[in-house]
């Protein structure tokens, strides 16, 4: 879940105005929570696996795992996870659409098959 209070625009880092950051800051927590929950379990699992692969998959219950990252590297990882989520959601919607279309084609009635 994205906390809009943690999203800031720091103009001192040399980056231009970010319209997406401004848009996110204007959203209510309810909207952000609904969007975050709209990702299917399949998408969440793929992203979880992807992030674990980036960080390393040493089991934390058997090892004292600590991950250190710079602000830029962490921001890049977050951006990667967000883009992966966006891409996966688009592909999931495409799959659902194709399944729906193929189901509709299978249910079509061929006029030649009717005894009129």
Structure confidence at residue 76 (pLDDT): 83
Instruction: Give the global pTM.
Output: 0.56
Per residue in 21-69, pLDDT tens? 788 788 888 887 887 788 888 988 888 888 888 777 777 778 887 878 8
Structure confidence at residue 27 (pLDDT): 84
Structure confidence at residue 34 (pLDDT): 83
What tokens appear for 32 in the block?
């952000």
In Å, what is the CA distance from 40 to each residue of 37, 86, 108? 8, 12, 30
Q: What whole-number distance in Å separates Cα of residue 21 and Cα of residue 18?
A: 5
Greater pLDDT, 1 or 36: 36
Structure confidence at residue 51 (pLDDT): 83
Whether 49 contacts 57, CB under 8 Å = no
Per residue in 81-116, pLDDT tens? 888 888 998 999 999 999 998 887 767 666 666 665
Angle subtended by helix axes 71-107 and 41-55, to nearest 10: 150
Instruction: Place 9 in a pLDDT band, splitting at 50, 70 and 90.
Output: low
């Amino acid at each position: 879940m994205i906390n809009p209070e943690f999203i800031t625009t720091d103009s001192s880092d040399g980056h231009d105005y970010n319209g997406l950051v401004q848009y996110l800051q204007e959203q209510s927590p309810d909207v952000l929570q609904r969007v975050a929950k709209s990702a299917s379990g399949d998408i969440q699992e793929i992203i979880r696996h992807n992030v674990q692969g980036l960080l390393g998959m040493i089991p934390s219950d058997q090892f004292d795992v600590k991950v250190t990252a710079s602000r830029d590297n962490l921001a890049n990882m977050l951006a990667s996870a967000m883009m992966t989520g966006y891409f996966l959601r688009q592909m999931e919607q495409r799959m659902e659409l194709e399944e729906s279309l193929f189901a509709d084609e299978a249910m079509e009635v061929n006029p030649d098959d009717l005894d009129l």
